[in-house]
Structure 1
């Protein structure tokens, strides 16, 4: 698919044709989006500059027609699906009065012309924390994050991890503090920073070093990796300095990441929704609802089985705690202040020393304050002073919370 500039409406069958012209680059992009929504096809952008926009369909036309007929036969057409959506929402609210359905209808366009008396063709429908939207714009993200804060994330002190998309940054900035410290902490995925760095400097051999800077759990470790990057070229660290350390490095994030440096937890949800994105709207929403209902029901059963086995902490954390407890045997402990639970430890035989402050949940090693899970040094201090180590594991890892 390709187009240039001037003003001719789409042809009768809503297909693109050679020689078609539009009034602006924005009109071309809008026409492409509308075409993709109407035809349930995907397209890939190959070039996007100030005066050019080149995209190509990812499916053959015949394959799409066969698929479209099958989808319409099973799920009815798009128009009928939109008409059924509100009815289905009403049924959900009737069955579960605590459910919240919030959506907005935006004007639809055919080329440059506003089209009246039809439902929103840009998929701006947001069921709780799942958004079906036209694209990543500041307005879309502001709408999504506002509703997320109002209906889902009602507690303070949460961390929001995203890529560095300008529309997300703009939405956070205009949230009136709802997604800013001390209420919330906006941080970036280290893999996206790594990708941005590579795109800027074309030095793949330094990618791992950038990632290591982000994963540094202590200030000392951060400085070591940062110095190595600066020695290669100050331009690299100058670029990195444009990002707040609190937004990409574990050593400075205050523990609000809980050790999560990437968006992989979100990306893995794609497997649950595989094959649903091209369904008509009501079928898509139903598929999302029922698939996640099945997923969470299974997870609940797993948690109940773990609790019935007498476990206090979640399975993953239990195994990690057990490993750290076993590793605490070769650590010498010096109690500096028993009342305030301040210690100094030395690992044997390497002689590395770390300071531990149990009251403040801190250890120079970094794992204690980053993951909120006891490291081997904390286990050694608890054993040395006969303290109940379970009291230092954060409540979020306890099975009653799960």
Structure 2
């Protein structure tokens, strides 16, 4: 057998037996062997198995056990599943694959010896002798065997709701309220397997009938005149429909009932989809829900598990005070509207302020993230540490992205960062950002994110791969001559593309003309780590989101501080690697003395002037990146100087450790905030302002679709390129080349 292949022992025709400890064994049937590896496609494997077992390829399914796990069967349904199966058993020569022609129902070992008759169909084998309690345990252990993605018609419900059958006992039964009666009636119908409809339904009387055609089942209950109770007055407990209505939708199921059943599933699997909930509830309770019912029940369960928005927003004043109390020097600002509704929240921890002001380069990357759970936008200001890692400085939740909201965020940010030297901001074209930055941070610099600019370039001009690369080269070009060379190459491809680039204000994104210090960070993609935090936990309330960010920052600071204690170099690892590259490239350069501080450095093509006193080189790489370029390194080698003495202090290990020298302290659990109009009290008996959620309203009417004008269509047309001479402006038919 070739290396990397596994023998799949395909077993079929037998049955599963569930033991008392929950494990399963497969007995009986036949077995055949097939070699499988990573190169085998699932369709080929399934076709070969179907031909071997003489099963219908569309009807069979294949499952296997994980190593050392005989409780859960794993379904193989696509190429990735087949590859995972081979990976899981790479240490084993064989893997047992169970080929099934339909649904699985395992026998209980305690009932295998029972000789009573069993029913057998083409889809499933069910043992009648399984007692109810053992059947519950059996079905619970077999739940992983049922495929979540199977159609509802191919899954049989397991009725585990026998207590509900006694929810309604008959005439004279009393209930505390009409709500309790309706809930008991709903559960009773689910347990019995029928759907009912109301003939009358109000606070004083309720009459329900079975929806089955001609079925006489009927119940009537009304309110007692002397006490606040509901009593069953008449009931005809006879069904002639034979349970035919069980597959119909259940119109009387309440969202709260669904939420109660879904809560445990969401605790174990927060990403559980409404389709999975629909299938699981049908399997467990015989409840046939619509997608909307499952979605609403899930949302209600999530809200109850995570706390309602009202509770979350009411805890914000307490949260702000605890942040500043447990982390002295931090800033947590909360603003509300005249109606005491949430408006804006700004948070910056003291550890972040200290790290940025004492260890990070004066560079801030601004970005926004749309929130799902709470209405509004998240603003974030992230710095870059000495190892080119993201370092969160501050974040805020605002009502919308406007010039006013950005101005407010920057004003709060200005109060926590040092402005001893000009700060460079990098962002995409946010609404109002270009006006807000110079207004709040006078003398600062603002650059546009190259990533978003390139996306606009490709969108507006449908630029070719060659044009996009030249555009990127123009952005990273350090001198005006190199920038113009890139523009000339773009002109040779498309005059319109070159005009677009020149009109996009190169002084805001090109290294050759940008006046501030970006340290070669032309885009804000480095903040993807922070964005991933939010994408992973985007369903949290505003309070939980603040705690999530705080915990991740707390662990990040501790982890990086401990890792830096193991470093023995002068520069951080990433900067050490960059400097070594420049040292390697400097070996072939020639150095000529002009004075003690000025030198001429030549290679085979060009000459550059290096001034080691002012830390400048005419190639401008030294000034832009903060690390010596290969020309300056050649001078250091010739004069016996140490290149590490001419690196920016922000790239040293000492400065990196100073960035992460302060810690974010833990916080206590949230307190329960009264919501009945009373003012909650702080520890010193001072009242805390109650904050209510912001008002949200969907704009009236249908959302308008954007129409693409003919002029815009022509503007986005891809330039014509000849397939013969590879030049632009004509095709091969009109090509004049021989």
**The residue matched to 1:155 in structure 2 has which SS?**
coil
Q: Deviations over 1:92-118 (max 9, x none)?
A: 2222231111122236xxxxxxxx45x
Q: Deviations over 1:199-249 (max 9, x none)?
A: 322333422222221111222211100222234444434333334332111
Q: Does 1:217 align with 2:437?
A: no
The one of 543, 559, 566 equivalent to 1:298 is 559
Aligned position for 1:156 = 421
The 10-residue stretch of structure 1 (199-208 or 82-91) with the greater mean CA deviation from structure 2: 199-208
Distance in 2 between residues matched to 1:192 and 1:130, nearest whole Å: 21
Q: 1:313 to 1:334 in 2, by over 3 A?
A: same
Q: 1:227 to 1:351 in 2, by over 3 A?
A: closer
Shift of 1:153: 4.7
Q: Deviations over 1:241-299 (max 9, x none)?
A: 33433211112224611000111112331123333222112111111111111112111
Distance in 1 between residues matched to 2:294 and 2:625, nearest whole Å: 48
The one of 123, 130, 148 equivalent to 2:395 is 130
Aligned position for 1:198 = 458
Aligned partners of 2:320 and 2:334 also within 8 Å: no
**The residue matched to 2:593 in structure 1 has which SS?**
strand
The one of 51, 71, 80 equivalent to 2:302 is 71
Q: Output aligned runs, 1:353-392, within 5 Å.
A: 353-392=607-646
TM-score, structure 1 normalization: 0.74
Aligned position for 2:572 = 314
Q: 1:233 to 1:204 in 2, by over 3 A?
A: closer
The 10-residue stretch of structure 1 (64-73 or 241-250) with the greater mean CA deviation from structure 2: 64-73
**The residue matched to 1:273 in structure 2 has which SS?**
helix
Aligned position for 1:185 = 445
Aligned partners of 2:476 and 2:510 also within 8 Å: yes
Distance in 1 between residues matched to 2:492 and 2:441, nearest whole Å: 36
Q: Output aligned runs, 1:1-400, within 5 Å.
A: 61-62=292-293, 64-106=295-337, 116=339, 119-120=341-342, 124-128=344-348, 129-172=394-437, 175=439, 178-180=440-442, 183-205=443-465, 206-254=467-515, 256-306=517-567, 309=568, 311-338=569-596, 341-347=597-603, 350-400=604-654
How many residues align? The count is 320
Shift of 1:337: 1.6
Distance in 2 between residues matched to 1:352 and 1:346, nearest whole Å: 6
Aligned position for 2:208 = none
Aligned partners of 2:320 and 2:333 also within 8 Å: no
Distance in 2 between residues matched to 1:132 and 1:241, nearest whole Å: 36
Distance in 2 between residues matched to 1:150 and 1:158, nearest whole Å: 14
**The residue matched to 2:459 in structure 1 has which SS?**
helix
Q: 1:324 to 1:106 in 2, by over 3 A?
A: same
Q: 1:326 to 1:238 in 2, by over 3 A?
A: closer
The 10-residue stretch of structure 1 (92-101 or 285-294) with the greater mean CA deviation from structure 2: 92-101
**The residue matched to 1:337 in structure 2 has which SS?**
coil
Shift of 1:171: 2.1
Aligned partners of 1:363 and 1:369 also within 8 Å: yes
Distance in 1 between residues matched to 2:654 and 2:618, nearest whole Å: 30
TM-score, structure 2 normalization: 0.41
Q: Deviations over 1:42-91 (max 9, x none)?
A: xxxxxxxxxxxxxxxxxx74564344334333321111111112112212
Aligned partners of 1:321 and 1:373 also within 8 Å: yes
Distance in 2 between residues matched to 1:64 and 1:133, nearest whole Å: 28
Distance in 1 between residues matched to 2:313 and 2:510, nearest whole Å: 44
Q: Structure 2: 5+ residue runs without aligned partners?
A: 1-290, 349-393, 657-738
Distance in 2 between residues matched to 1:154 and 1:354, nearest whole Å: 34
Distance in 1 between residues matched to 2:562 and 2:518, nearest whole Å: 27
Distance in 1 between residues matched to 2:294 and 2:522, nearest whole Å: 40
The 10-residue stretch of structure 1 (281-290 or 265-274) with the greater mean CA deviation from structure 2: 265-274
**The residue matched to 1:268 in structure 2 has which SS?**
helix
Q: 1:124 to 1:277 in 2, by over 3 A?
A: farther
Aligned partners of 1:137 and 1:167 also within 8 Å: yes
* Higher Cα Rg, which structure: 2
Aligned partners of 2:591 and 2:600 also within 8 Å: yes
Q: 1:200 to 1:282 in 2, by over 3 A?
A: same
Distance in 1 between residues matched to 2:318 and 2:464, nearest whole Å: 52
**The residue matched to 2:601 in structure 1 has which SS?**
strand
Aligned partners of 1:191 and 1:211 also within 8 Å: no
Shift of 1:364: 3.0
Aligned partners of 1:229 and 1:236 also within 8 Å: yes
Distance in 2 between residues matched to 1:158 and 1:76, nearest whole Å: 40
Structure 1 vs Structure 2 CA RMSD = 2.2
